[in-house]
Amino acid sequence: MTIRNTFPNWPDVEGMDQLIEQALNLRWCWNHSSDWIWKSLDAELWEKTENPWIILLTVSRDKIASMLANPGFRNVLQDCLATNQKSFAEEAWFQKNHSNAGLSLVAYFSMEFMLTEALPIYSGGLGNVAGDQLKAAGDLGVPIVAVGLLYGQGYFRQDFDANGNQQALYPVNDPSQLPMRPLREPSGEWLRIQIQLAESKIWLRCWEVSVGRNKLYLLDSNDFSNNAAQRCITSELYGGNAEMRLKQEIVLGIGGWRLLRAIGLEPEVCHLNEGHAAFAILERARSYMQDHKVPFELALTVTRPGNLFTTHTAVAAGFDRFDAQLMHKYLHQYAEEELGIPFQNLLEMGTESSSDPFGDPFNMAYLAVRGSGRINGVSKLHGQVSRHIFQPLFPRWPEDEVPIGSVTNGIHVPTWDSEEADALWTAACGKKRWMGDGPHAEDIRRLTDEQLWQMRSLGSKKLIERVRKRSRRPGVLDENVLTVGFARRFATYKRPDFLLRDPDRFIRLLNNAQRPMQLVLAGKAHPQDLPGQALVKEWNDFIKRPEVHDRVVFLSDYDMLMAQELVQGADLWINTPRRPWEACGTSGMKVLVNGGLNFSELDGWWAEAYSPQVGWAIGDGKDHGDDPSVDAAEAEAMYALLEQEVIPEFYDRTSDGLPAKWLARMRESMAQLTPEFSASRAIQDYTDDHYLPGATGYHQRAARDGALGVEILQWLQKLAEQWHTVRFGPLRVETHDGHHCFTVQVSPGNLLINDIKVELYAMPSVTEPMTPVGTSADSSGTITYRAQVAATRRATDYTPRIIPNHPAVAVPLEANQILWH
Domain of residue 27, residue span: 16-89
Q: Mean pLDDT, to the nearest integer, of 207-222? A: 97
The pLDDT value given to residue 199: 80
DSSP string, 186-208: TTSPBPEEEEEETTEEEEEEEEE
Using 50, 70 and 90 to split pLDDT, how confident is the model at 14? confident
For residue 792, the domain's CATH number is 2.60.40
Domain boundary among 649, 677, 705: 677
38 with 138, same domain: the answer is no
Interhelix angle 419-429/449-471, nearest 10 degrees = 160
Residues 6+ apart with CB under 8 A from 469: none
Phi-psi region of 585 (alpha: psi -120 to 50; beta: other; left: phi over 0): left
Average of per-residue pLDDT across 454-459: 97
Residue 199, number of CB atoms within 10 A of its CB = 8
**pLDDT over 80 at 407, yes or no:** yes
Q: Do residues 648 and 743 both lie within one domain?
A: no
Residue 703: inside a domain, yes or no?
A: no
Q: Are residues 451 and 585 in the same domain?
A: yes
Are both 283 and 143 inside the same structural domain?
yes
Residues 211 and 296 in one domain: yes
Q: Which of 89, 109, 132 is the last residue of a domain?
A: 89
Residue 79 lies in a domain: yes
Query: What's residue 187's pLDDT?
Result: 83
Q: Is the CB of residue 273 less than 8 Å from the CB of residue 126? A: yes
Confidence of residue 777 (pLDDT cuts 50, 70, 90): low
Inside any domain, residue 704: no
The CATH number of the domain where 161 resides is what?
Answer: 3.40.50.2000
Residue 187's CB: how many other CB atoms inside 10 A?
7
In a domain, 141, yes or no: yes
Burial class (CB in 10 A: 0-12, 13-18, 19+), 651: middle
pLDDT of residue 775: 61
Q: 322 and 229 in one domain?
A: yes
Average pLDDT over residues 598-605: 97
pLDDT for 151-187, tens place per residue?
999 899 999 999 999 999 999 999 999 999 999 888 8
Q: Is 310 helix (H, G, I), strand (E, B) or coil?
A: strand
DSSP E strands in 31-87: the ranges are none
Pairing relationship of beta strands 200-211 and 192-197 according to DSSP bridges: antiparallel
Residues 183 and 287 grouped into a single domain: yes
* 595: CB partners within 8 A, 6+ apart: 421, 452, 455, 456, 459, 666, 669, 670
Asked whether residue 642 carries a pLDDT value surpassing 70, the answer given is yes
Per-residue pLDDT tens for 319-334? 999 999 999 999 999 9
- Cα–Cα nearest to 142, from 267, 241, 22, 309: 267
Q: Are residues 372 and 485 in the same domain?
A: no
- Residues 383-400: what's their mean pLDDT? 96
Q: What is the mean pLDDT of residues 65-72?
A: 93
CA angle 297, 254, 310 (to 5 degrees): 80
CA dihedral 286, 289, 295, 297 (to 10 degrees): -50
Is residue 33's pLDDT more than 80? yes
Please list the alpha-helical segments (H only) found in 158-313: 228-231, 242-250, 256-262, 279-292, 296-303
Q: What pLDDT sits at residue 359?
A: 79
Give the H/E segment covering residue 335. Answer: none
Element spanning 210, H or E: strand 200-211
| Any domain includes 253 | yes
| 358 pLDDT above the threshold of 80 | no
Structure confidence at residue 779 (pLDDT)? 62
Per-residue pLDDT at 601: 96
**Same domain as 97, residue 207:** yes
Q: For residue 4, what pLDDT is reported?
A: 43
Please report whether residue 120 resides in a domain.
yes
Does residue 715 sit within a domain? no
Burial of 317 (0-12, 13-18, 19+ CB in 10 A): exposed
Closest to 27 measured CA to CA, from 183, 181, 214: 214
What average pLDDT does the segment 263-277 reach? 97
Distance CA 119, CA 181 (A): 12
At residue 684's C-alpha, the angle toward residues 595 and 137, to 5°, is 85
Whether residue 415 lies inside any domain: the answer is no
The contacts of residue 42 (CB under 8 Å, 6+ apart) are 55, 58, 59
Q: In the prediction, which pLDDT does 5 show?
A: 46
pTM: 0.96
- pLDDT above 50: residue 417: yes
128 and 164 share a domain?
Answer: yes
pLDDT in tens, 297-315: 999 999 999 999 999 999 9
Angstrom distance (rounded) from CA 380 to CA 748:
37
205 pairs with which residues across the strands?
192, 220
Q: Which band of pLDDT confidence, cut at 50, 70 and 90, is reported for residue 356? A: confident
Task: Tell me the C-alpha distance between 222 and 176, whole Å.
Answer: 13
Cα separation, 246 vs 403, in Å, equals 27
**DSSP string for residues in 732-759:** EEEEETTEEEEEEEEE-TTS-GGGEEEE
Domain count, the chain: 4
CA Rg value for the chain? 29
Q: Cα angle vertex 312, ends 308, 318, to 5°? A: 120
Residues 223-260: pLDDT tens digits? Answer: 999 999 999 999 999 989 999 999 999 999 999 999 99
CA quadruple 599, 600, 602, 605: dihedral positive or negative? Answer: negative
* Whether 529 and 633 share a structural domain: yes
Domain boundary among 58, 89, 120: 89
Specify whether the CB–CB gap between 613 and 474 falls below 8 A.
no
Give the three-class secondary structure for 725: helix
Cα 199 to Cα 160, 250, 407: the distances in Å are 42, 14, 41
Dihedral sign (CA 57, 62, 68, 71): negative
Share of the chain above pLDDT 90, in %: 90
- Let me know the angle formed at the C-alpha of 257 by 150 and 116, rounded to the nearest 5 degrees: 30
pLDDT, position 2: 45
What is residue 432's DSSP assignment? Answer: T
Same domain for 246 and 98, yes or no, is: yes
Left (φ > 0), alpha (ψ -120 to 50) or beta: where does 508 sit? alpha
Residue 3 pLDDT class (50, 70, 90 cuts): very low
Residue 113: is its pLDDT beyond 60? yes
- Listed in order, strand segments (DSSP E) in 325-476 are 362-363, 374-377, 405-406
pLDDT digits (tens, 9 = 90+) for 74-103: 999 999 999 999 999 999 999 999 988 899
Q: How confident is the model at residue 416 (pLDDT cuts 50, 70, 90)?
A: very high
Residue 195 has φ and ψ, to the nearest 5°, of -135, 160
Question: How distant, in Å, are the alpha carbons of 23, 28, 56 from that of 17?
Answer: 10, 16, 11
Q: Give residue 61's pLDDT band: very low, low, confident or very high (50, 70, 90).
A: confident
